[in-house]
Amino acid sequence: MKSRHKKLALIGGALVIFGIIVWLVLNALNSNIALFKSPTEVASGQYPKNQVFRIGGLVKESSLAREADGVTVRFVVTDNEKDVTVNYKGILPDLFKEGKGVVAQGKLTTEGTFIANEVLAKHDENYMPPEAAQAVGDAHARAAEKKAAAEAAGTPPKPGTSY
Fold of 36-152: OB fold (Dihydrolipoamide Acetyltransferase, E2P) (2.40.50)
User: Which pLDDT does position 76 carry in this prediction?
Assistant: 93
d(CA 129, CA 57): 9
Burial environment of residue 147 by CB neighbours within 10 A (0 to 12, 13 to 18, 19 or more): middle
User: Which pLDDT does position 118 carry in this prediction?
Assistant: 92
H/E segment holding residue 80: none
> Where do the structural domains in the chain lie, given as residue ranges?
1-32, 36-152
CA torsion 104→106→107→109, rounded to 10°?
-70
Burial environment of residue 103 by CB neighbours within 10 A (0 to 12, 13 to 18, 19 or more): buried
User: Which pLDDT does position 5 carry in this prediction?
Assistant: 87
User: Which pLDDT does position 156 carry in this prediction?
Assistant: 61
User: Which pLDDT does position 49 carry in this prediction?
Assistant: 76
Residues 6+ apart with CB under 8 A from 111: none
Please give the model's pTM, rounded to 2 decimal places.
0.61
Per residue of the chain (163 residues), give pLDDT as tens.
788 888 999 999 999 999 999 999 988 877 667 678 888 888 888 887 778 888 988 899 999 999 999 889 999 999 888 899 999 999 988 888 888 888 999 998 888 889 999 998 865 555 566 766 777 778 778 888 888 888 887 766 555 555 4
